[in-house]
Structure 1
């Protein structure tokens, strides 16, 4: 069974047993998360809008993404700034779509 679920203002199309990276969640590794904002549910043949559907997931770990380097420069003014950023993610495993 597949479902379109909204997690932290982003939409993911998930199936049971799938692992994916979502924006950082406020939980510890090993905790079980329940996402109730399911936008679409599909069982292969038909898709339906089901307000009572829930997606249960297990939080595996928190990680940081690849480094993004930002370089700013103003010519002839001796102004150069280099900044870096690493976005935080949580890896989750979908346990059930019901």
Structure 2
């Protein structure tokens, strides 16, 4: 499946962290952008497959330090950034 510009391989019962989605903890959502579906060597029509998920929590990911420096100009800037993310539990696939 694809959400937030990234692709994820999911199965029923998986827990994943994705880019922030609208909703509160406990809400059920449908993820419709399915790229490939199947088990083993058997492939199914991905356009008919839906993935249901439950939002566990809205959280922030780990801090990333952004450091800029220009040599010999006494220029240094230090910033931090924490990306918003949503924790999902995959309820059903299909």
Tell me if both proteins adopt one fold, taking TM over 0.5 as the criterion.
yes
- Whose strand fraction is larger, Structure 1's or Structure 2's? 1
Does the residue aligned with 2:36 lie in a helix, a strand or coil? Answer: strand
Does the residue aligned with 1:13 lie in a helix, a strand or coil? Answer: coil
1:10 equivalent to 2:6? Answer yes
1:41 equivalent to 2:37? Answer yes
Superposition deviation, residue 45 in structure 1: 4.5
TM-score (ref. length: structure 1): 0.86
Q: Would the aligned equivalents of 1:59 and 1:90 in 2 still touch at CA under 8 Å?
A: yes
**Residues of 1 paired with 2:59 and 2:74: CA distance?**
36
Structure 2: unaligned runs, 5 residues or longer = none
Q: 2:67 aligns with which of 65, 71, 95?
A: 71
RMSD across aligned positions (CA): 1.3
1:86 equivalent to 2:82? Answer yes
**Residues of 2 paired with 1:75 and 1:50: CA distance?**
52
Q: Would the aligned equivalents of 1:34 and 1:57 in 2 still touch at CA under 8 Å?
A: yes
Does the residue aligned with 1:51 lie in a helix, a strand or coil? Answer: helix
TM-score (ref. length: structure 2): 0.90
Q: Which whole-Å deviations, capped at 9, do the CAs of 1:51-95 have from their partners, x for residues lacking one?
A: 111000000001111111121122332211111111111100000
